[in-house]
A and B are shown apart, each in its own frame.
Chain A
Amino acid sequence: AQKITQTQPGMFVQEKEAVTLDCTYDTSDPSYGLFWYKQPSSGEMIFLIYQGSYDQQNATEGRYSLNFQKARKSANLVISASQLGDSAMYFCAMTTEGNEKLTFGTGTRLTIIP
């Protein structure tokens, strides 16, 4: 069974600073995918970024990048130049080969301070 751990329940970051949200995962399956979703106060789940276990390079999407360290089983989300609109809950999640359900972590509530 797979498991996602997010150890930061809440973070406060000054606007324009970079922020790293931690995520570690556990699975015995060699093939898996790692995802980050953003949940603003309005409640919807917004897909941010994806990293496959066999991808050689870290995924990037605009201001979002995923710091994938396979040996440490970590998939931290880095947001560069944070903006007030980045304030939200952030969930790390994973799927494994042949098991398409997303397993989510408990989330990190990020608050950007002006």
Chain B
Amino acid sequence: EPEVTQTPSHQVTQMGQEVILRCVPISNHLYFYWYRQILGQKVEFLVSFYNNEISEKSEIFDDQFSVERPDGSNFTLKIRSTKLEDSAMYFCASSENDSNEQFFGPGTRLTVL
């Protein structure tokens, strides 16, 4: 069964460093998303991406964040200068269209020291 994959599973970085989180969505899906979950809290929407551009972003998704689909398969989230409060689990998700269920990847746990 096709699935969303994410790498790395765990990333530890120093405050102020740049990180890139990688995702490979399900191949025939057209909508891509990033969510984050701070430990013990609910899942929060960051950004959605369709047709090679951002379709919606939350207030969390400030200038430090960017997304890219550099080729036909990868979907990346970059955090330019990490802060302690960026420590969270980051989930990538994809869906066939904007009303179908979103399938989540296993997540990347980001720890900022």
Chain A interface (Cβ within 8 Å of chain B)? 33, 35, 37, 43-47, 50, 52, 91, 93, 95, 97-107
CB neighbors of A among B7-47 (8 A):
31, 33, 35, 41-45
* Additional 11 contacts, C-beta under 8 A, given A43-B89, A45-B107, A47-B102: A33-B99, A43-B106, A45-B91, A45-B93, A98-B98, A100-B55, A100-B95, A101-B45, A101-B58, A102-B45, A104-B43
Tell whether, in the assembled complex, residue A95 and residue B103 are in contact, meaning their CB atoms are under 8 Å apart.
no
Size class of the B contact interface (CB-based, 8 Å): 20 to 34
Residue with the highest number of chain B CB atoms closer than 10 Å, among A101, A103, A104, A105:
A101
Q: Mask for B59-83, Cβ within 8 A of A = 1, else 0?
A: 0000000000000000000000000
- Nearest B residue to A50, CB-CB: B101
Contacts of A102 in B (CB 8 A): 33, 35, 43, 45, 93, 102
Contacts of A98 in B (CB 8 A): 98
Contacts of A103 in B (CB 8 A): 45
Measured between alpha carbons, how far is A77 from B107 in the docked complex, in Å?
A: 24
